[in-house]
Every structure is written in structure tokens, then in C-alpha cells.
């Protein structure tokens, strides 16, 4: 399995996953032109994408449907589809549900419910028979069922949205600060580190920190928090940014 975070943050999120002959985008938060450019930068082609799988309906995860919604099948929960039905014309839709695995080409995908201020948001556990990965962004806290489903991963994309002190000392209005740090908001660096400590084991070789706030976080702060809990473990950390794709990662060789 190959995975690349094409960009991640409040201005757009998309994750590319390749296994066998299957090519999938998990979220499509950039324009069609920008997705094409970012895919080309990592040696992939938008024309080869088989489907788009959505985590939730917020604009930074679905903007690309304006160009791609008529061209590619879209997989999403009923709540997510309800949230975007008035914005985009989708020609092929597949309804998914938390807890129900489904096959998409050479991938097996398990949507897992998360807590976020969206209609029916999910994270994803993705398998190809050789590797097990997860894409987990946009959640306010970590539940026991989520921890259970994220056992034995080879690769994890997990949000590290904000440094709590930067958020609270920063310029955001109070109600927005409260929303971000709530149980329906986003994970802080400290929460992410605690999350990773709970799922870390010898098989986990790649961690990609995603959805960093440009206003309320710094890459070094997110990385330092996670490195502390990994305590020298043989696990590579990438901090993903908004402006360009991360390095392509291959798991399960």
C-alpha cells in the first residue's frame, strides 16, 4: 500500500491511497486542477482515480466535488451526503456506514465513527491484505471503540490540530476557541500524543501528523510532543502541511 497526504489543514485536505490496481482519494478538499497538480507531483494521475471517499461534509474536505462529483463515484455516510446534496451534483453515490466494512477494488475500508461538529463524520481503517493504515482527522476526543479499531496499524494519519497555549493566547474569538477545544472540535498536540501512545507498537512504522492549524500550531511543537511518547521507537514521523504534498509512504512491503 502506498499513501500520500496531498495537503492537510483548514484550507483543504486530501489523502491518496494506492494498492494493486486501485487508486482512491480520501477526501477531496482542493479544486480539481489543484488535485491534479498535487497528484502529478507525487507521480500519480487524477485520471487514474477510482473513487472519492469522504470523511464528512465540511468544505475543506469536499471542495473538489465541484469538478469531480460528476466524474467519479463518491462514497459517504448518509449524514455527509445530506450535508452536501444542495452544493454538488453527484452522478454515482455509494452510502457507507460506521462499523460496516466495504470493498473498493483492492482495498477493504472500515469507516469508524468520530466526534466532530458534522452530520455523520467518520475516520477510516484501510487494508490491502499486506498493510493496515488509518486516516483520522477532525475529531474532538478519542473514544475506546476508535482505539480498538486502530490496533495493529502499519501507518497512521492523525490530526495534531493545535497547541493549546497558542490557541488560548491567540486572536481567535472566544466561542471559536471553545469550539476547537471541545469534544466536537479538534485534537491538540498533547491529545494526539496520548492517542499515539495508546496505539503505538512494533508494527507501527509511519505516523503522519495532519490538519495542523496555521494559526495555532507549529510543526516542531507537534513533532516534539509525539516524539516524547514514542521514546526512540523505530517509527518515522512526517508533519504534513497545507501547501504541498507530503512524502509518499509505502507500507507492507
Strands of the 93-96 sheet, one edge to the other: 93-96, 74-77, 51-53, 22-26, 14-19, 2-7, 249-250
Domain residue ranges of the chain, discontinuous segments joined by +: 2-250
The pLDDT score that the predictor gives to residue 165 is 97
Q: Beta strands 206-210 and 236-239: pairing type?
A: parallel
Would you say the pTM of this structure is higher than 0.85? yes
The fold adopted by the segment(s) 2-250 is Metallo-beta-lactamase; Chain A (3.60.15)
What whole-number distance in Å separates Cα of residue 214 and Cα of residue 110? 30
The pLDDT score that the predictor gives to residue 87 is 87
Q: What is residue 37's three-state secondary structure?
A: helix
The pLDDT score that the predictor gives to residue 253 is 66
Listing DSSP states for 10-34 in one string gives TT--EEEEEETTEEEEE---S-HHH
Torsion angles phi and psi, residue 84, rounded to 5: -115, -5
What whole-number distance in Å separates Cα of residue 241 and Cα of residue 239? 7
Per-residue DSSP letter, 48: G
Q: What is the mean pLDDT of each run of 10 residues along the chain (253 residues)?
A: 96 96 98 97 97 96 94 97 90 96 98 96 97 97 95 96 97 96 96 96 95 96 95 91 95 78
Write down the number of H helices and E strands in the chain.
Answer: 9, 14
The pLDDT score that the predictor gives to residue 233 is 82
Per-residue buried b or exposed e for 129-151, using 16+ beta carbons within 10 Å of the residue's own CB: eebbbbbbbbbbebeeebeebbe
> Is residue 164 a contact partner of residue 237, using CB atoms and an 8 Å limit?
no
> Is residue 200 a contact partner of residue 229, using CB atoms and an 8 Å limit?
yes
How far CA 87 is from CA of 16, 66, 69, in Å, comes to 23, 8, 10
For the chain, list the strands marked E by DSSP: 2-7, 14-19, 22-26, 51-53, 74-77, 93-96, 102-104, 107-113, 122-127, 132-136, 155-159, 206-210, 236-239, 249-250
How far CA 167 is from CA of 65, 129, 196, in Å, comes to 31, 41, 21
Amino acid at each position: 500500500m502506498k499513501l500520500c497526504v496531498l495537503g492537510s489543514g483548514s484550507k483543504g485536505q486530501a489523502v491518496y491511497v494506492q494498492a494493486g490496481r486501485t487508486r482512491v482519494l480520501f477526501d477531496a478538499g482542493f479544486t480539481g486542477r489543484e488535485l491534479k497538480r498535487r497528484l502529478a507531483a507525487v507521480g500519480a494521475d487524477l485520471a487514474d482515480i477510482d473513487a472519492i471517499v469522504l470523511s464528512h461534509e465540511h468544505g475543506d474536505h469536499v471542495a473538489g466535488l465541484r469538478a469531480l462529483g460528476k466524474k467519479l463515484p463518491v462514497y459517504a455516510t448518509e449524514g455527509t451526503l445530506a450535508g452536501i446534496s444542495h452544493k454538488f451534483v453527484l452522478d454515482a453515490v455509494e452510502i457507507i456506514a460506521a462499523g460496516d466494512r466495504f470493498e473498493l477494488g483492492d482495498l477493504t475500508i472500515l469507516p469508524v465513527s468520530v466526534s466532530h461538529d458534522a452530520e455523520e463524520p467518520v475516520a477510516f481503517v484501510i487494508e490491502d491484505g499486506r498493510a493496515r493504515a488509518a486516516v483520522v482527522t477532525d475529531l474532538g476526543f478519542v473514544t475506546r471503540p476508535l482505539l480498538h479499531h486502530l490496533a495493529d496499524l502499519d501507518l497512521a494519519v492523525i490530526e495534531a490540530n493545535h497547541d493549546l497555549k497558542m490557541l488560548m493566547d491567540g486572536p481567535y474569538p472566544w466561542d471559536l476557541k471553545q469550539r476547537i477545544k471541545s469534544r466536537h472540535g479538534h485534537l491538540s498536540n498533547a491529545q494526539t500524543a496520548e492517542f499515539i501512545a495508546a496505539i503505538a507498537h512494533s508494527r507501527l512504522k509511519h505516523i503522519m501528523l495532519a490538519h495542523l492549524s496555521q494559526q495555532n500550531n507549529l510543526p516542531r511543537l507537534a513533532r516534539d510532543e509525539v516524539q516524547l511518547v514514542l521514546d526512540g521507537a523505530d517509527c518515522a514521523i512526517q508533519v504534513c502541511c497545507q501547501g504541498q504534498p507530503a512524502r509518499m509512504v509505502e507500507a507492507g512491503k
